[in-house]
Chain A
Amino acid sequence: MNDFSELENQLRKLRPVQPSSDLVNRVECALTEETSSPTAGVLPRERKFHFNWLSLGLGVAAAAALLMFAFLRFQQPIKKTSTIASASPGPAISTNNQLVPSGLTQVVYHTRDEGLQFPGNSSQPMRRVRSHTRETLQWRNPKTGASLRISYPRDEVSLTPISGQ
Chain B
Amino acid sequence: MQNVATDENWKTSFSQLAPGLVLFARQWARSAADAEDIVQEAFVRFWKKQHDVSNRGLLYATVRSIALDFLRRDSRRAKRESAAMSDVDQGVEPAFEIEDDSQRALVAALDLLPVEQREVLTLKIWNELTFAEIASALGISQNTAASRYRYALAALKKNLPAS
Which residues of A does B touch, CB under 8 Å?
Answer: 4, 7-8, 10-20, 23-24, 26-28, 30-32, 34-35, 41-43, 46-47, 50, 115-116, 118, 123, 125, 162, 164-165
Q: Is the CB of B125 within 8 A of A11?
A: yes
Q: Is the CB of A15 within 8 A of B96?
A: yes
Q: Is the CB of B96 within 8 A of A34?
A: no
Q: Is the CB of A19 within 8 A of B125?
A: no
Query: Known: A4-B157, A11-B121, A43-B37. Is A27-B103 also a contact (CB below 8 A)?
Result: no
Q: Is the CB of B106 within 8 A of A30?
A: no
What is the minimal beta-carbon distance from A51 to any residue of chain B, in angstroms? 10
Q: Is the CB of A10 within 8 A of B106?
A: yes
Q: Is the CB of A16 within 8 A of B41?
A: no
Pick the contact of B36: A11, A20, A32, A162 (CB < 8 A): A20
Which residues of B does A touch, CB under 8 Å?
Answer: 3-5, 10-11, 14-15, 18-20, 22-23, 32-33, 36-37, 39-41, 43-45, 47-49, 55, 57-58, 61-62, 64-66, 68-70, 73-74, 93-98, 102-103, 106-107, 121, 125-126, 136, 138-139, 150, 153-154, 156-157, 160
A24 CB contacts on chain B under 8 angstroms: 11, 14-15, 18
Count: A-B pairs, CB below 8 Å: 133
Going nearest first, the 8 A-B pairs with the smallest beta carbon separation are: A42-B41, A31-B5, A16-B23, A32-B5, A4-B153, A16-B19, A30-B44, A15-B97
